[in-house]
């Protein structure tokens, strides 16, 4: 008898977990909550929580509540792959959201595809990500467009004729974006006078910058993430390099200016949305986000908020809640009115959207222009 009670008590929590499981819609998230690009994962997690809290407060989806299960991949590709394996095989999620960094999405996507669990990346812009299979989606634009935007801005607005590139050779995002920029810049009549390498985690870029200085470029294109870009800006100014730095969405973090200080002021990058927008959807989003988290949402927070809403809408349209049905409904996403623009998923499971150019001005980002595809 005693044994029976003990056994019964021991399985009680399990029973509880099972019952809970069947009532909730389990969605997995993997992201860099710690490590070199920690603001990426922290921001996306906030955007997702805000969206799902809103949906749950309004009654959930067809009477069921969403439960978000988040795993920190520490900004490492191997951890991203094992996080996705765990979300699928142990947590039994019906869909996955992540990652920000293209390299980590590329590492994880084949696993989601193999298990036929839909994975939606909110922010990975490298084309390869969604090529991993028909269960892999994205809600942001891709780098062939972003690289074109950077080149066009450099040539037409900054009147640059000679550009130098500093690329992170270990990052799929950086290499892809650097290649597109180089091609587009040359197509538009510009010249690439230096194309040099670094690696994420490096601290000293003086050798590359000294070489670049000797070639007198009009701009330096740096398709990196905010930590290295902040350090490069400082070192470039210390070496007397005065030309504008231009980059992509990987710059978008409050940490960029905290690291780069005044050295990064005046430089430009392409991004997914502007906090200066007067669109009521954006204004409302920023207001609610500030109330909840006491900070201005960066583009990853906005993208993840949109992604959560798009995924929830797809789930809401399914007749029966299966990963395959969610996949099919995600593919039908058309003209979703997001904070980051109107989102339609195309036949390649990518979103076709405008990009904005912003200028760093201390902790603020000044809106410069919008470029449509
Ligand atoms: N686009 C970047 C990548 O694919 C990630 C990123 C998106 C970073 C948005 C910051 C903001 O790696």
Q: How far is the CA of 218 from the centre of ligand 1 (A)?
A: 25
Q: 60: exposed, middle or buried (C-beta count within 10 Å: 0-12, 13-18, 19+)?
A: middle
Q: Which of 35, 80, 100, 339, when mutated, tests ligand 1's pocket best, judged by the most ligand atoms within 8 Å of its CB?
A: 100
Q: How far is the CA of 173 from the centre of ligand 1 (A)?
A: 8
Q: How far is the CA of 125 from the centre of ligand 1 (A)?
A: 6
> Mean pLDDT of all residues in the chain?
94
Going by pLDDT thresholds of 50, 70 and 90, the confidence category of residue 133 is very high
Torsions phi, psi for 177 (to 5 deg): -70, -40
Domain 143-271 of CATH type 3.40.50.2300: yes
Tokens of 317: 């349209």
pLDDT at position 23: 87
Torsions phi, psi for 268 (to 5 deg): -125, 150
- Which pTM does this prediction carry? 0.92
Q: Of all atoms in ligand 1, which is nearest to the CA of residue 146?
A: 1
pLDDT reading at 222 higher than 90: yes
pLDDT at position 354: 95
pLDDT reading at 16 higher than 50: no
CB atoms within 10 A of CB 67: 17
Q: How far is the CA of 161 from the centre of ligand 1 (A)?
A: 27
Q: Of all atoms in ligand 1, which is nearest to the CA of residue 172?
A: 12
- Indicate the range of 5-14, 95-104, 364-373 predicted with least confidence: 5-14
Q: Tell me which residue has its CA closest to atom 7 in ligand 1.
A: 123
Q: Which residues pair with 337 in a beta bridge?
A: 342
In 153-253, alpha helices (H): 172-187, 206-215, 226-238
Where in the sequence of the chain do the CATH 3.40.50.2300 domains occur?
19-141+280-353, 143-271
pLDDT at position 22: 56
Torsion sign over Cα 299, 305, 309, 311: positive
Q: Which of 37, 149, 179, 249, when mutated, tests ligand 1's pocket best, judged by the most ligand atoms within 8 Å of its CB?
A: 249
Going by pLDDT thresholds of 50, 70 and 90, the confidence category of residue 4 is very low
Q: How far is the CA of 153 from the centre of ligand 1 (A)?
A: 19
Q: Which of 32, 47, 101, when mutated, tests ligand 1's pocket best, judged by the most ligand atoms within 8 Å of its CB?
A: 101
The Cα–Cα gap between 334 and 328 comes to 13
Q: How far is the CA of 114 from the centre of ligand 1 (A)?
A: 24
Going by pLDDT thresholds of 50, 70 and 90, the confidence category of residue 2 is very low
The Cα–Cα gap between 16 and 126 comes to 42
Ligand 1 site residues, Cβ closer than 6 angstroms: 40, 100-102, 123-126, 173, 249-250, 252, 299-300
Q: Of all atoms in ligand 1, which is nearest to the CA of residue 298?
A: 11
CB atoms within 10 A of CB 246: 25
pLDDT reading at 8 higher than 50: no
pLDDT reading at 20 higher than 90: no
Contact 54, 60 (CB under 8 A): no
Q: Which of 150, 173, 339, when mutated, tests ligand 1's pocket best, judged by the most ligand atoms within 8 Å of its CB?
A: 173
Superfamily of domain 19-141+280-353: Response regulator (3.40.50.2300)
Q: Which residues have C-beta within 8 Å of that of residue 222, sequence separation ≥ 6?
A: 165, 166, 229, 232, 245, 246, 247
Q: How far is the CA of 157 from the centre of ligand 1 (A)?
A: 24
> What are the tens digits of pLDDT across the range 264-323?
999 999 999 999 999 999 999 999 999 999 999 999 999 999 999 999 999 999 999 999
Tell which wins on pLDDT, 81 or 23: 81
Q: Of all atoms in ligand 1, which is nearest to the CA of residue 129?
A: 4
> What are the tens digits of pLDDT across the range 254-280?
999 999 999 999 999 999 999 999 999
């Amino acid at each position: 008898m005693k044994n029976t009670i003990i056994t019964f008590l021991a399985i009680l929590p399990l029973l509880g977990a099972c019952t809970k499981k069947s009532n909730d819609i389990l969605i997995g998230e993997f992201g860099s909550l710690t490590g070199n690009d920690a603001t990426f994962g922290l921001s996306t997690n906030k955007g997702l929580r805000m969206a799902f809290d809103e949906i749950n407060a309004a009654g959930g989806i067809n009477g069921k509540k969403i439960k978000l299960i988040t795993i920190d991949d520490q900004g490492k590709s191997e951890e991203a792959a094992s996080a996705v394996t765990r979300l699928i095989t142990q947590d039994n999620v019906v869909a996955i959201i992540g990652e920000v960094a293209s390299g980590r999405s590329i590492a994880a996507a084949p696993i989601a595809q193999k298990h036929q669990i839909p994975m939606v990346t909110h922010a990975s812009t490298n084309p390869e990500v969604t090529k991993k299979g028909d269960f892999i989606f994205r809600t942001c634009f891709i780098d062939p467009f972003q690289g074109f935007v950077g080149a066009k801005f450099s040539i037409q607005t900054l009147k640059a004729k000679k550009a130098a590139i500093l690329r992170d050779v270990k990052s799929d995002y950086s290499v892809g974006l650097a290649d597109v920029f180089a091609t587009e810049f040359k197509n538009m009549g510009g010249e690439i006078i230096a194309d040099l390498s670094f690696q994420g985690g490096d601290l000293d870029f003086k050798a590359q910058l000294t070489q670049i200085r000797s070639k007198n470029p009009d701009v330096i294109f740096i398709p990196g993430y905010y930590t290295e870009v902040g350090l490069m800006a400082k070192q470039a100014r210390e070496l007397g390099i005065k030309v504008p730095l231009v980059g992509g969405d990987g710059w978008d973090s409050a940490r960029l200016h905290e690291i780069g200080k005044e050295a990064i002021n005046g430089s430009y990058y392409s991004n997914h949305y502007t906090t200066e927008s007067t669109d009521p959807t954006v204004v409302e989003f920023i207001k609610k986000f500030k109330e909840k988290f006491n900070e201005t949402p960066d583009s990853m927070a906005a993208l993840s908020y949109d992604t959560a809403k798009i995924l929830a809408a797809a789930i809401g349209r399914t007749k029966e809640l299966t990963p395959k049905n969610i996949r099919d409904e995600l593919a039908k996403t058309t003209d979703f009115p997001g904070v980051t623009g109107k989102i339609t998923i195309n036949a390649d499971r990518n979103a076709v959207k405008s990009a904005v150019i912003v200028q760093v001005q201390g902790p603020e980002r000044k809106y410069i222009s919008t470029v449509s595809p």
